[in-house]
Amino acid sequence: MAESVSLQCIHCGAAVDETTKDHVFPASWYPETTPEEIQRWTAPSCGACNNRLGSIEKKVFSRLILCVDPRIAEAAGLSARVMRSLGVGVEGLSEEEAEHRRRQKLGLMAAITSHDPEAGAHTLPGLGSHAGFKDEDLPQIKIPADLLHQVSYKIVRGCEYVLAHRVIEEPFDIQIYFVHDHDLPDDLVRAFRSYAAKDVRVGPGFRVIRVAAHDAPEQVAYKVTLWGTLTFYALILEAQAAVPAKAN
């Protein structure tokens, strides 16, 4: 009789009898312009992690995508998808589902505030002004930093599994940076200047650049761009070598 094969969740690292396919970039985040032949990356996840992160992804997505210019091909159809998820223009819903979506819409509306120029330092890299609009006419949306980082960690773990067939475990750790290019930590600047990069596009919606140190290939840097707009960076290093995150 063949021996059973131990499966591992890329997020919590637990060995499980059965894993689910976790979309590295959530399935609902792909724009309508994504060709059918594009392979939508997946990685193994336990059911608990997949469910937990899936709930977080929905909340983060509804806030992020409303900050992205809906006219660009990289985000085609996504703002309309968010509106439908909130029940806007949707008919035939059950009373329970309609109430659920109404509560989601109220939660999102509570996160939207009028433009505050004093909050400019907290604008995520790539988000902010839109061509043809005055900044003072654009509202602001508050995005919980802890939820945003959880989704970012999940994406990096998935990218590393797909591109390097690796589950990130101790002593290695991930540092996430939502910083503008001129504020990048020196370690990241050196990594992207010194090492050959693997540059991959997952349809029009996502771009992933991965670099690894020649003398320490398990030390890796990532640059991830969502919808041609929002960019974040990541470092995978031994925990004791991790660089303190800088404020953006």
Please tell me the predicted confidence (pLDDT) of residue 244. 47
Please tell me the predicted confidence (pLDDT) of residue 16. 80
Residue 27 pLDDT grade (very low, low, confident, very high; cuts 50, 70, 90): very high
Residue 247 pLDDT grade (very low, low, confident, very high; cuts 50, 70, 90): very low
Please tell me the predicted confidence (pLDDT) of residue 6. 60
Tokens of 63: 């806030």
Please tell me the predicted confidence (pLDDT) of residue 51. 95
